[in-house]
Each structure stands twice: as C-alpha cells, then as structure tokens.
Structure 1
Amino acid sequence: MTDDDLRATLRRADPAASLPPLPSARVDHLLEQTMATPFADASPATDGRAATPSRWRRPALLAAAAAVVLAGAGIGWLTLRTPYTDSPSTTAGPGSAGPASPSVTRLTGAGIAAKCVEPTAQVLASRADLAVAATVRDIAGDTVTLQVTHVYKGTDADLIEVPQAPGASEGLMGSGSFEAGRKYLVAASEGSILTCGYSGEADAPGLAGLYEAAF
C-alpha cells in the first residue's frame, strides 16, 4: 500500500467526511477555545504515591485517536485485499488427457485383378500414398491387425487393420494371406491395398528391393 492509498483510506474512515466544511472563522474559534482550556491536575494519589501531572493527557489522547484510525484502515485493507495462494490448483478437469490410444489405419482389400503386370518402383512410388513394414499382431475373424515397425511413406500409424482375403497367387506376394507373427510390406492407395506384387511377405523375392528403390 502506498502513501496515497493510506491517505485515501484514512479519508474514507473519517465519519465526518461527507459533512460540509466549517467556516474558517468557526474553525479558528474552536481552535482557540480548545487551546485555552486548561486540564485539571490529577487528584493526589490515596496510596501514598506521587500524583502524575495531567498535562500528558492531550498528546496521549491524540496518539490514541490516531492509532484507532490507523487500525481501522489496516483492517479494511486486510479485508479488501485479494487472498494469496502459494500454489496453483492441481485438480484435473474433465478434459484431462489420459494415456494416448494407438492410432489405427484401416485398409480394404483390392480384390483379384484379371491380369497383373510386372511391378516397378516407379509405379509403386507414384500410386502408393501409404507404404509400411509391419508384423501381424493378431487375427480376429476376417480382420488382421498389424503392428507398424517402419513407415516408408504416408502418415505415421501404430496399427493397421486389413481384411483377410482368400489366398491368391496374384494377390499378396508369398503365401497369399496374412499369418500371425509374420512380417509384411504393405502398400495402399486411397485406403485400398495394392497387390499384384506391391504388398506381401517381407522376405518375398524382390519385394524389399522394390520398396528400397521406390522410397
């Protein structure tokens, strides 16, 4: 609190602040009358101690009045000041984030093409918007879940879900179907798996080299 704040508080604590000021002549008269009024000496003490002169009373009363005003101002300041807290609240709100869930990309089967041409790195690079290395984590019914181990192209994903299509020599390279625990290279375009030599078992002849050349 600054000196100006304290003066303003004292003025607000003055019970006569709202009254109009007295005329200067009236003030001079009251001042002269107050200064001319003597204080009576204290009566002699009855227990034998020396009587204390009464002339100390005026400064003592003035000091007491000032102390009362200052105390009232201090109480008002303590009441109006903003409470202080030594640490922010740590209560979590309803929107607090918990453990992040793995991101999942779902692909569809491309079906069996009537005739496949020899795959090339140029076609793979231009057609595929997603290409990953992944391991089959589990197979539930017709849905295969693969754990992504490397992203060649596209948005990072933790898991990929693909349908389990019937085996076909011109579908996935290798056995033609997904098997639990095996590693695969999977390419897709607009959510559909690219087959015909572009997706299959990671150790299928020529597939890993095709991915390295394309990406």
Structure 2
Amino acid sequence: MTDDDLRALLRRADPARDLPASPQRFPLEDIMTTATPAPPAPRKKIALAAAALVLVAAGIGWLTLRPEETTPTVTTQELRTVQLTAPGVQAKCVEPTAEVLAERADFAFAGTVTAVEGATVTLDVTRVYRGDAAGQVRIAQAGDSSEQMMGSGKFENGKKYLVASSQGSMLICGYSGEADAEGLQGLYDRAFA
C-alpha cells in the first residue's frame, strides 16, 4: 500500500470529507477580528457606588443642616459690697427668737472674716439667708459693740460668722455671732426656712 492509497482510505473514513478544506490562516483571522462581548458590570460595584453616593450626600446634608455649635455663656453677676454698722453697747438683751430674727432682719448672711483693719471688719459672704446677693460685707464697729455677739464676742480673722442686720445696722444680742456658737445656726435655720 502506498501513501496515496492510505490517504484515500483515510478520506473515506473521515466524516467531514464533504466539507471544503479551509486554509490555516482562516481560524487565526477569525480569532483576531471577532469582537468578544464585554462582560456585564458586576452588580456589587454598582451597589457599592450607590451606597457611597448616598453616604456622601448624607454627610454634606449633615454638615450644612446641623445645628450651630453654641458655646455656653456663663454670666457672672458682680456681687456688691454691703456696708453695715454695729450699734453701741445696749444695757440688756432679750433672749433671741427665730420669729423676731425673721421679722427684724432685712439682710442675713454667713461669711468668713478676711480682714480686721482698725474699726472695720471685712467678711466674704458664703451664703445669703435674706436680702440681695453680696460678695463681701464690711462692718464698721463702734466701740465694744461686738462683745454682745454670740461666741467669743469679737470678730477674728479666718473665723466663720452668721450676721443679721436691719436697715444697715448689725443685729446683736444673740442674732449675730460665730457660726459654731451654740444655737445660732438653728436659730437661722428656723427663721429663714
């Protein structure tokens, strides 16, 4: 059997023998000129882009519509200084009562002595029981009037006092004195409750 016989036998057995023979360049040309369809855009990327757009829009909206930051304003009221005088020595004192204190006192406060200069005592006010707020009170003492105050009987630097006054004059005879004097704090609590 020769080569030609073998080729003829193979052609008869070939199922595609009726098809025309195609040159080799045809499949390569097909591959190079055939347009491949673009893959569809993934849906995740579209959803992610939409979410990012919504977040950006929300951020811009928040920045433009948010309430303005207000700094809290603290108003400090300038506290006044009150001038009081201590009355002269009285011969006798009646026992102090909360009713009389509440009735007579137009200004009552708790304070700490910060200075005793000559006949003037300066107290820093820590609490006002009655009357307008004050930061400091100066009391002009006349003679030994403070001897009728409860406690030691005189103002001492650094000590705490409860003081009541009527028409600018300090009430003595048990209505003013050292804050820790027996019964004085209770008297103020009952009078100014």
TM-score by length of 1: 0.51
Report the equivalent of 1:209.
186
Q: Distance between the aligned counterparts of 2:146 and 2:138, measured in 1? A: 22
Q: What is the Cα deviation at residue 163 of structure 1?
A: 2.1
Match of 1:152 among 129, 135, 156: 129
Moved more, 203-212 or 110-119: 110-119
Report the equivalent of 1:137.
114
**CA deviation map 1:95-126 (0-9, x unaligned):** xxxx9764100000122211111100000000
Equivalent residue letter for 2:177: G
Report the equivalent of 1:92.
none
**CA deviation map 1:116-163 (0-9, x unaligned):** 111000000000000000000111121110000000000111000002
Question: Is the CA contact (8 Å cut-off) linking 2:146 and 2:154 kept in structure 1?
Answer: no
Give RMSD over aligned pairs: 1.9
Report the equivalent of 2:31.
none
Match of 2:165 among 167, 188, 208: 188
Report the equivalent of 2:105.
128
> 1:161 and 2:131 equivalent?
no
Alignment gaps of 5+ in structure 2: 1-75
Equivalent residue letter for 1:159: Q
Residue 128 to residue 193, structure 1, CA distance change in 2 (3 Å): same
Match of 1:103 among 62, 70, 80: 80
The structure, 1 or 2, with the larger RCO (C-alpha pairs under 8 Å, 6+ apart) is 2
**CA deviation map 1:48-73 (0-9, x unaligned):** xxxxxxxxxxxxxxxxxxxxxxxxxx
Q: Distance between the aligned counterparts of 1:145 and 1:170, measured in 2? A: 17
Q: Distance between the aligned counterparts of 1:136 and 1:125, measured in 2? A: 24
Match of 1:175 among 133, 152, 161: 152
Question: Is the CA contact (8 Å cut-off) linking 1:132 and 1:152 kept in structure 2?
Answer: yes
Question: Is the CA contact (8 Å cut-off) linking 2:87 and 2:145 kept in structure 1?
Answer: no
Q: Distance between the aligned counterparts of 2:153 and 2:91, measured in 1? A: 16
Aligned length: 117
Report the equivalent of 1:77.
none
- Segments of 4+ moved more than 6 angstroms: none
Residue 162 to residue 169, structure 1, CA distance change in 2 (3 Å): closer
Equivalent residue letter for 1:124: L
Q: Distance between the aligned counterparts of 1:100 and 1:195, measured in 2? A: 30
Identity of aligned residues (%): 58
* Structure with bigger gyration radius: 2
Residue 100 to residue 153, structure 1, CA distance change in 2 (3 Å): closer
Alignment gaps of 5+ in structure 1: 1-98
Equivalent residue letter for 2:135: D
Q: Distance between the aligned counterparts of 1:120 and 1:109, measured in 2? A: 20
Pick the structure with more strand per residue.
Answer: 2
